[in-house]
Amino acid sequence: MLGENLQIGLAGLGTVGSGVYEALLRNRDILEARAQISYEVRRVAVRDKKRRRSVELAPGVLTEDWRELVEDDQIDIIIELIGGITEAYDLVRAALEKGKPVVTGNKALLAEHGNTLFRLSQEKGVPLYFEASCGGGIPIVRSLQNSLICNNVSAIVGIINGTSNYILTAMATEALPYHEALRQAQQLGYAESDPTLDINGWDAAYKGLILAMLAYGTPLRPETISVTGIEQVEPVDFTFARQLGYTIKLLVVIRHHQERKALELRVQPSFVPQQHLLSKVEGVFNAIAVRGDLVGETIFYGRGAGKNPTSSAVVSDVVLAMRECRLQGYHTGFQPYTQEVQVLPVEETVTPCYVRFRVKDCHGVIASIAAAFSRHDVGISATSSADGEHEGGKTEWNHLVFMLHACPWGQLQKALDEIRQLDTVVADPVVLRIETFQGT
């Protein structure tokens, strides 16, 4: 028996919200058969009821006040898809206070206010589900919570922003300059008109913080993660990368340093070895590599964004919420279970690096840069060069690349500060970490 209908309140009817509404109606028979629970979408909150929409709703379903969803005693579960942070926080907090389970895909909300909301969820015994918040349709949240529950996770490394991955793929395969690759992504609908959070790394950082919270049991603040975007990467960097056996990807890197009891949290464009599976992830696809002490390395792959993949993740959480509504005192929403963990200062993180300088075509430039590296105990494993800008048949500057041995990031920055003062260096260097995937 399916029993009495569970009532759902949906806040937000944009791209993902409309996709969720359509999926709940289109796949209703199969969802009810699999979950053995019947349901109904009772109310839908939007900002403007008069706006033309791609989905048709029954009369009286729409409201412009999300508070009606919270205050309606007949609504059992609330789906938050309004986006943003402030209003979404007010909605989720009010719903949890009211005892209503919440499903959200709002990564920025969880990164900024996860500490408060997860503690409230724990205190009230009311679950907050968020599979769609990182990885789109990739079931990474549920996997970390359930399938990998008995593993000590030593590292999570992934490509979790489809827009930046599309841009970097276009730069690699078509030799497009960054701005042309971005424009192409916007024309195809893979990048927003304002792509700032995608290209500056913060979309990936929000998702990375959520993954770290899941893997290590405690909410983390955005200021604890080091973030660098893809804006400075140029086609010439891909040329050097190919010659050296790498490609370039924007990676989120989460590593647990057992000996220091600290987490390494960072997002940055990185050299990825061509033999590693992450180097094969192209276009708008995402992939997340997780290493556990029992399972070893596992890789989750799929579309990380978009109406249908994200709707799939949201609806999976809705079904889980419906099932657990029938189980008094039990739910699988995230509950913090450890004390706050220490985050390793980015200056103390250690990797090999690729550094590209624009330098004047003159005698002694390699020696002067190498001497500065030496003074700061930064070892050089290889150097390379390529022609840069020419004018009137005369070389104005060249590209000069140094491959550096593993060293602390702060130590490298001190060397680069000194090198920037050299008259022969004509622009800020491009610095990309080299991921070896040892222990990942």
Same domain, 47 and 130: yes
pTM: 0.91
Q: Which of 420, 417, 404, 422 is nearest to 364 (CA)?
A: 422
Assigned domain for 179 exists: yes
CB 367 within 8 A of CB 402: no
pLDDT at res. 329: 66
**Nearest one of 43, 48, 101 to 67, comparing CA atoms:** 43
Let me know if 414 is a catalytic residue.
Answer: no
* pLDDT > 90 fraction of the chain, expressed in percent and rounded: 76
Same domain, 362 and 318: no
pLDDT band at 439 (very low <50, low <70, confident <90, very high): low
The verdict on 174 and 299 lying in the same domain is: yes
Which tens digits make up the pLDDT trace of 183-197? Answer: 999 999 888 889 999
CA pair distance 320, 302, nearest whole angstrom: 21
State the pLDDT at residue 94.
Answer: 98
Fill in the amino acid letter for 284: V
Q: Say if residue 38 is in the same domain as residue 117.
A: yes
* Residues 298 and 389 both lie in one domain: no
**Catalytic residue from among 98, 107, 124, 207:** 207
Domains held by the chain: number:
3
Within-domain flag for 331:
no
- Are 251 and 351 in contact by the 8 Å Cβ rule? The answer is no
Strand order across the 128-129 sheet: 62-63, 39-45, 6-11, 77-80, 102-104, 128-129
Q: Measure the CA–CA gap between 302 and 402, rounded to whole angstroms.
A: 35
Domain boundary pick from 325, 359, 375 = 325
Domain-terminating residue out of 242, 269, 303: 303
Cβ contacts of 80 within 8 Å, gap of 6 or more: 11, 12, 88, 91, 92, 95, 102, 103, 104, 106, 109
Phi, psi of 178 (to 5 degrees): -55, -50
- Window from 31-35, 139-143, 250-254, 428-432 with minimum mean pLDDT: 31-35
**Which residues fall within 8 angstroms of residue 241, CB to CB, at 6 or more apart?**
247, 248, 271, 354
Residue 159 lies in a domain: yes
Same domain, yes or no, for 129 and 190? no
127 and 68 part of one domain: yes
Q: Which of 269, 292, 325 is the last residue of a domain?
A: 325
Which pLDDT band holds residue 1 (cuts at 50, 70, 90)? Answer: very low
Task: Please check whether residues 51 and 108 belong to one and the same domain.
Answer: yes
How far apart CA 302 and CA 287 sit, in angstroms, is: 7
Tell whether 271 and 294 lie within a shared domain: yes
| Residue 156 pLDDT grade (very low, low, confident, very high; cuts 50, 70, 90) | very high
Asked if residue 159 and residue 42 are part of one domain, the reply reads no
Would residue 313 count as lying in a domain?
A: yes
Query: Has residue 1 been placed in a domain?
Result: no
Q: Residue 421 maps to which CATH number?
A: 3.30.70.260
Largest pairwise CA distance in the chain: 84
194 is a domain residue: yes
147 with 213, same domain: the answer is: yes
CB 60 within 8 A of CB 54: no
Pair 118, 63 in one domain: yes
For residue 260, what is the domain's CATH number?
3.30.360.10
338 occurs within a structural domain: no
Q: Provide the residue type at 84 as one letter.
A: G
Question: What residues make up the domain containing 402?
Answer: 349-434
Amino acid 394: pLDDT: 58
* Distance separating alpha carbons of residues 189 and 202, to the nearest angstrom: 19
CATH of the domain at 31: 3.40.50.720
DSSP of 224-249: GSEE--STT--HHHHHHHHHTTEEEE
Question: What local confidence, expressed as pLDDT, does residue 324 receive?
Answer: 85
- CA 27 distance to own-chain centroid: 29
Q: Cα dist. 26→45, 60, 292 in Å?
A: 20, 21, 38
Distance CA 403, CA 145 (A): 39
Quick one: angle between helices 162-174 and 202-216, nearest 10? 120
Residues 341-391 have pLDDT tens digits of 899 999 999 999 999 999 998 889 999 999 999 999 999 999 998 887 655
State the Cα–Cα distance between residues 250 and 230, nearest whole angstrom. 7
